[in-house]
């Protein structure tokens, strides 16, 4: 029960943050940054019809159609997010004032804030519906992937915004979509706070033991084979924090200056020594 409550609380917090970004930055600036919220923004500025209600009128049929044709992949949390974001967008719009008159700032801050909110909702197992469901439906009936369908749906909304508001505002909408997408990834995956290191060396045993003793990090030995030499070699895999990577390189240098080392960014590490699963 605690897990369920925390999940819905996470979706609700994400919805509130997203609604704030949309209501205080994107809608006043006429930036229709893709999705159902962007479509509702266009409708609002052309007709004066409330954004939240428009979102709900588009989202509920999409939810029901997706449930019927695709199956129950969009669950109760998505329905919860779909309804609550419509409520909070219209609630904020009652007293929302433009936070800036600069369109670039509106696109940047609207994209960042909306991305943080959507990322929190996604991490909590929910969604705000709209584009996700539309993309799934397009991918089901046309020979395209979900990612391509998502791009098509958002692109259609931005083109519509360009026709309604002009090319310049459509360009700002593209900026907002890009920033929102990157922010969602950052919230879901985390910052590059860790490094994954692959070490190929003839002295893998000594290097691995030294890393475990000095850094108190686990080391995994993988079986490797050179395709050219056909020689079998141990490949060490170790995950360390950013501040520890210099020590790893120093340890490898001590034992084998001709070792082959690959270092890559890791967005999220779960398990012993890092964040709990």
Mean pLDDT of 220-227: 86
Q: In this predicted model, what pLDDT tens digit does every residue of 42-65 receive, in sequence order?
A: 898 888 888 889 888 888 888 887
CATH label of the domain that carries residue 235: 3.30.70.120
Better-scored residue on pLDDT, 266 or 210: 210
Is residue 180 domain-shared with residue 211, that is, in the same domain? no
Last residue of a domain, one of 167, 189, 211: 189
Pair 261, 180 in one domain: no
Is 49 within the bounds of a domain?
yes
- Domain contains 42: yes
What pLDDT, on the 0 to 100 scale, is given for residue 265? Answer: 83
What average pLDDT does this structure show over 123-144? 72
Contacts of 6 (CB under 8 A, 6+ apart): 124
Q: Does any domain span residue 259?
A: yes
Share above pLDDT 90 across residues of the chain, in percent, rounded to a whole number:
26
Backbone φ and ψ for 266, nearest 5 degrees, come out as: -120, 125
Q: Which residue has the higher pLDDT, 105 or 245?
A: 105
Q: What domain range includes position 226?
A: 194-266
Are 200 and 254 contained in the same domain?
A: yes
Domain endpoint, select from 189, 218, 246: 189
User: Is pLDDT above 70 for 277?
Assistant: no
CB 119 within 8 A of CB 47: no
pTM value surpassing 0.85 = no
Q: Kindly state whether residues 36 and 54 are assigned to the same domain.
A: yes
Q: Are residues 137 and 243 in the same domain?
A: no
Q: Are residues 217 and 80 in the same domain?
A: no
Residues 92 and 184 occupy one common structural domain: yes
pLDDT tops 70 at residue 272:
no
Q: Could you give the number of structural domains in the chain?
A: 2
pLDDT tens by residue, 230-263? 888 889 999 887 778 888 898 999 999 989 999 9
Residues 173 and 198 in one domain: no
> Could you tell me if 170 and 226 lie in one domain?
no
Q: What is the pLDDT of residues 68-104, one digit of tens each?
A: 766 665 577 888 888 898 999 999 988 878 888 899 9
Domain end call among 189, 208, 235 = 189
């Amino acid at each position: 029960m605690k897990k369920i409550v925390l999940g819905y609380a996470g979706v609700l917090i994400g919805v509130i943050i997203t609604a704030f970004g949309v209501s205080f930055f994107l809608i006043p600036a006429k930036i229709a940054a893709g999705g159902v919220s962007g479509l509702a923004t266009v409708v609002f500025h052309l007709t004066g019809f409330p954004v939240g209600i428009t979102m709900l009128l588009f989202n509920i049929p999409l939810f029901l159609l997706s449930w019927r044709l695709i199956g129950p992949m969009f669950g109760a949390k998505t329905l919860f997010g779909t309804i609550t974001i419509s409520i909070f967008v219209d609630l904020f719009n009652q007293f929302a004032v433009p936070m800036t008159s600069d369109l670039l700032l509106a696109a940047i801050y609207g994209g960042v804030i909306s991305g943080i909110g959507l990322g929190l909702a996604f991490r909590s197992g929910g969604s705000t519906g709209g584009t996700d469901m539309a993309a799934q439906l397009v991918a089901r009936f046309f020979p395209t992937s979900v990612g391509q369908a998502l791009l098509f749906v958002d692109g259609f909304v931005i083109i519509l915004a360009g026709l309604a508001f002009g090319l310049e505002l459509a360009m700002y909408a593209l900026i907002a979509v890009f920033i929102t997408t990157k922010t969602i990834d950052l919230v879901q995956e985390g910052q590059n706070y860790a490094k994954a290191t692959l070490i190929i060396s003839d002295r893998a045993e000594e290097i691995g033991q030294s890393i475990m003793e000095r850094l108190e990090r686990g080391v995994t030995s993988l079986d490797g084979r050179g395709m050219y030499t056909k020689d079998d070699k141990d490949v060490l895999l170790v995950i360390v924090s950013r501040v520890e990577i210099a020590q790893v390189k120093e340890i490898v240098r001590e034992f084998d200056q001709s070792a082959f080392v690959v270092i890559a960014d890791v967005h999220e590490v779960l398990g012993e020594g890092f964040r709990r699963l």
